[in-house]
Each structure stands twice: as C-alpha cells, then as structure tokens.
Structure 1
C-alpha cells in the first residue's frame, strides 16, 4: 500500500463535513472521521462519506476490557471503513480481541492500527503525569512491538518516531503519523510535529493533516500541495 495524505475532517457536524468534501471534485482524498463528528452524527456519516467515494480512517481510539473492545469492533466491521484504531496501552490481550472482533466471516477486515503516544504528549508529561520513566521513543517502540505481536497492521505515532518503529517492527509495519504542519504553520495543541517533507524523509507511510487543509482558504490546493510534498 502506497503513501497517502489523510485529511482529518474534525468538523462538528455532517453538513459542514459533506460541504467541505464536495469541494474535491477530482481526486477523492482519504479522510479521517474522529470522535467529534462520529458522536455528533453516528454511523450514518460514515456511509455518506463512503458513498462519495472516499476511503475512511475511523479514529475512535478504543480502550476498554478485551471483550468490550471485541464487541465494539464487530459492530464497526460492518461500516466498511478502511482503517480503524485503538490504544496500544490496552495491552496485547485487548488488541488481539479487537482484531478477532474486526475480522468478518469471509476473513476480510479494515486495517487496524494502535495509538502509541498522542502527539500532544511530551516526555516530561509522560514522566510526571503518567509515571512512565522510559524515554518516549522507547515507549513508542515497545507499544509498536506489542501491536505487531498482536497481529495489528501498524501504529499511530509522531513522524519523529516513524524511523524507530520501522527499525524494530519492519518496513511493512505501517506508521500513521499526525502532527504534520506546513513550515509556516502554527503547531497549536501538538507537541511533536514536523512538515510533510520531513515526514517523508523519516519514512511515514501516512500523514494525517487537519487544520492546515481544512482551515485553508483553498483546501483543495492545500491538499494537493501537501500530497506533492509528501508523495511528490
């Protein structure tokens, strides 16, 4: 599977989301549906976006006991999304249960990836608030190894950790990387950020880009520029 740019459609309602996507009349981008939009509109928004020809990353970050996550993934498997995720901190047992729930009767399933550490987390916060004393890169690598061992397809991590993840999990293990901004853009609530060009150099497989595209006066041009810089 080749590299791609995923647009984070972090809008509060379906009307704004579909209005935004209707601007893309030629290339249909891969889009991320997150908690805000999914909780506001429910599964129907996924169906409407799929009907417009978009691939979907359903970003709900499940984290619960294994049986609950397994049951939830069984429901999500019927939505025909292309990628979904959970928190690697839920342990290998939870990730394995999720994979079992997500796999359909015919053996097919969406890609399943695990969130390692959010890009809003710094090493200091991880140490002081979560009592995790290991270096952040080592924590990300360990969570990635757990995800790989559980049979998952990849992880969500910062582009800054993509190279490390590939070195320990193999080049075929996917890195889906938010925290990407244009060089002149504001970092906002992200901590571990970089540019599309740097993410490409570091080996990210997918970059997730939200506000630099969705808040642009010309989002189609911003998206195409991002694709050019990342895929080129």
Structure 2
C-alpha cells in the first residue's frame, strides 16, 4: 500500500509540474530585453542576407545582361530561404549554472532571470512566486551593476550571490527525490527550506542594490552565514 501511495504522489507531482510548465511566465524586464535584442539581431542578419542575395543577383544581371524570369524566381527563393533560416536560427543560448558565474555585468541580471524562468516547472508554487520577486530585484540591481568595473570586488560579490548561491540553492532542491521533498528535515521540509533560502537571497539582492547605489562598496560583502540555509538539509536528504 505504501508503494502505491508513493507512486500516486509521484504521479500527482508530475502532473502538477506539467501544468506549471504550461504556465511558465517571464521573470523580469531584463530577460525580455535580452530576448528582444536577440530577435532584432536575427532580423538584422536576415535583412543583410536578403540584401546580399539581391546585390548578387543585380551584379549577375549586369554581367549577363539580365537574369530573366527564372533568375528572378531563383533570387526570390534564395532570399526567402536565407531569411527563413536566419530568423529561426540560432536559438538564444540558454544560460547555465556555469555560464552565470562568468557572465558580464551588463547581462548578468537578464541571464539570471532567463535561467530562473527555466526552473519554474521544477519548483513548488510558493518558490515560483518568490522568484518573480527576485526578478524585480534583479531589474533594480542591473542599473547599479553598470556603475561597477568587471574586476571590482563588488562585482565578484554580486556574481557570487547571483551566479553561485542562487543556482546552488535551486539545484540542491532539484537533486532531492520527489518522494522526500515533503518530509521533515531539521524542522522544515526541503520545500520550506527552498522558500526560506529564496527569501534570504531576495533580501540580500535588495541590500546589495542599496549599497551600490549609495556608493558603500566597502560594506558590500555577501553574508555567507545567512545563505547556509541551502546546506541546512536542502541537499542532504
């Protein structure tokens, strides 16, 4: 009976995750901006390719005194094919845990938001709600990051928070078997630990944003002791 109940729980959670996957929503304006920039980059490349095809056809026509009906047809097909391919490919690269650690400051917030969006189907609803709040914090942080040098200690601390602590917290939760995510561990279930950890990171991002805005870079230090929650059983079931 226990096995049957366990299997039923797994099916319910899988169905819930599937429904959440269909309802994944964007997190933050910086993610939208990166996607828009990628789209318009493809539009530019497609326009250049079509232009090159037309110029090539014009040069050939000048050399041979016209390209005729079939030449026009071939030019049209070639231009349409080039535009079609370049508007479909390449896909926008999906940020990874590793790439977030080395992202430039200008795109760090947006890439983190895109990475968080991809995690939504794998996380409980309360965590997804906090991730939306983190997206707002990252939008607020992004303009402040533009004031930092890539090699500033402050920049390294921000990358540590956003590029290491946040992904490690989420990945630690994902590694736990679904059957154990509702079990109590040191007073909290892994889901509750995940939510608590995300709240801490949300507040830390707010603090960092304020410190950078006020120029208090000497005070900027990610407080690891507050982030130890991610080790407090979240990945040690």
Higher strand content, 1 or 2: 1
Higher relative contact order (CA 8 A, sep 6+): 2
Q: TM bucket by the smaller chain? A: under 0.3
* Larger helix fraction of residues: 2
Return the TM-score normalized by structure 1: 0.25
